[in-house]
Amino acid sequence: MAPLDAADLIGRVRFERGDVRDGARVLEVVRGHDGVVHAAAALPIQRTRRRIYSANITGTRHVLDACLAHGVERVVYVSSTAVYGVPKSLPETEESPLDPIGYYGESKVAGEQLCARYGRQGLAVNVLRPKTFLGPERLGVFELWFEAIYSDKRVYLLGDGNNRYQLLAVADVVDALVKALHSKVYGETFNIGAREFGTWRSDLGAVIRYAGSQSKLTGLPVRPSQAVLAVLERLGLSPIAAWHYLTMPADSYIAIDKAERLLDWHPTQSNVELLVESYRWYAEHRAEVLHKVGSTHRVGWNFQVLDLVRWLP
Contacts of 227 (CB under 8 A, 6+ apart): none
187 φ/ψ sector (left φ>0, alpha ψ -120 to 50, else beta): left
For every residue of 207-232, DSSP letters joined together read HHHHHT----EEEE-HHHHHHHHHHH
**Cβ–Cβ < 8 Å for 203, 132:** no
CA distance 196 to 193: 9
Question: Could you give the C-alpha distances from 64 to 78, 137, 151, 174, 295, in angstroms and in order?
Answer: 13, 29, 46, 21, 25
**Which residue among the candidates 108, 131, 153, 258 is catalytic per the annotation?**
108
CA distance 208 to 206: 5
CA distance 266 to 282: 26
CA distance 14 to 31: 14
Task: Calculate ∠ Cα 8-9-11, nearest 5°.
Answer: 110
Helix H or strand E segment including 69: helix 59-69
CA distance 145 to 304: 15
End-to-end C-alpha distance for the chain, whole angstroms:
45
**Cβ–Cβ < 8 Å for 176, 190:** yes
CA atoms within 13 A on the CB side of 221: 4
Look up residue 98 and give its DSSP letter. P
Answer yes or no: 184 catalytic.
no
Active centre residues (catalytic):
108
